[in-house]
């Protein structure tokens, strides 16, 4: 096996933690996969907060991004994927020399949360990582997945009065309505209010 794709030592050291995290998901665990790039844990939304809490206490201090996928017509339909990484801090880096090795990689972890239906709801992570705020708003905007406990769950990219969730696979590509019509000129736009 060429050295470049051999699992790096940090990842091997992670195995017990991944096992503990899977245990923290309890009955909501779907599967644990050792994917090529990082370990991933698939679970139901009810188990998310327990797993994230344990991961945070074991060094996973940064939420990289939250993604959404619509697997329609497969069930369960919606997947929300979280990527966590453990940046070394003064408290966790017991051996700073190891961090300076050229092929050191901060460990990463992927959580895939599956839910279904019109009222798919996932607990928010905004109280743990403020950066989750806009990521969750974007997923709500595009997929219609709700985040329970989110302080300000409004649309982010689409107009506030937009109908539907455009990144769902059953959403018509051209949308449900024409907001502006050819030749509309001035009349097609709602009157401008000075602010």
Partner 1 sequence: MALGENQPFVVTKLDDFLKWAQSSAIWPMTMGLACCAIEMMSIVSPKYDTARFGAEVFRSSPRQADLMIVSGRVSNKMAPVLRQLYEQMPDPKWVISMGACASTGGIFDNYAVTPADTFLPIDIYVPGCPPSPDALIYALMQLRREIQAGSKVKVLSANA
Q: Minimum Å distance from CB 72 to partner 1? A: 17
Residue 195 Cβ vs partner 1, minimum distance, rounded to whole Å = 9
CA-to-CA distance for 99 and 166, rounded, in angstroms? 43
CB-nearer residue toward partner 1: 30 or 167? 167
ω into residue 141 within 30 of 0, thus cis? no
Cβ-contact 107, 67 below 8 angstroms: no
For partner 1, the closer of residues 96 and 190 by Cβ is 190
φ, ψ of residue 86 in degrees (nearest 5): -110, 90
Nearer to partner 1, 123 or 166 (CB): 166
Spatial distance between the Cα atoms of 100 and 15, rounded to a whole number of angstroms: 23
Closest-CA residue to 11 (of 80, 85, 79): 85
Main-chain phi, psi angles of 30, to 5 degrees: -100, -55
Residue 8 Cβ vs partner 1, minimum distance, rounded to whole Å: 38
With respect to partner 1, which residue has the nearer C-beta, 63 or 139?
A: 139
**Phi and psi (nearest 5°) for 167?**
-90, 5
Closest CB to partner 1 among residues 117, 175: 175
Whose CA is closest to 175, among 184, 160, 161, 163?
A: 163
Supply the minimum distance, in Å, between the C-beta of residue 192 and partner 1: 5
Binding site for partner 1 (CB under 8 A): 157-159, 162, 166, 171-176, 179-186, 188-190, 192
For the bound state, the minimum distance from the C-beta of residue 170 to partner 1, rounded and expressed in Å, comes to 13
């Amino acid at each position: 096996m060429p050295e470049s794709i051999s699992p790096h030592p940090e990842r091997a050291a992670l195995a017990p933690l991944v096992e503990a995290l899977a245990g923290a998901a309890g009955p909501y665990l779907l599967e644990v996969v050792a994917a090529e790039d990082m370990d991933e844990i698939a679970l139901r939304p009810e188990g998310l907060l327990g797993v994230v809490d344990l991961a945070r206490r074991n060094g996973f201090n940064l939420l990289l991004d939250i993604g959404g996928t619509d697997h329609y017509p497969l069930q369960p339909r919606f997947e929300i994927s979280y990527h966590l990484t453990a940046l070394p801090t003064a408290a966790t880096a017991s051996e700073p020399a190891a961090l300076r090795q050229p092929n050191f990689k901060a460990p990463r972890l992927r959580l895939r949360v599956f839910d279904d239906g019109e009222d798919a709801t996932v607990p928010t992570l905004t109280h743990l990582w403020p950066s989750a705020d806009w990521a969750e708003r974007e997923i709500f905007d595009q997929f219609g997945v709700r985040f329970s406990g989110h302080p300000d769950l409004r649309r982010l990219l689409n107009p506030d009065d937009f109908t539907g969730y455009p990144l769902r696979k059953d959403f018509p590509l051209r949308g449900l309505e024409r907001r502006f019509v050819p030749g509309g000129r001035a009349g097609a736009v709602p009157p401008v209010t000075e602010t």
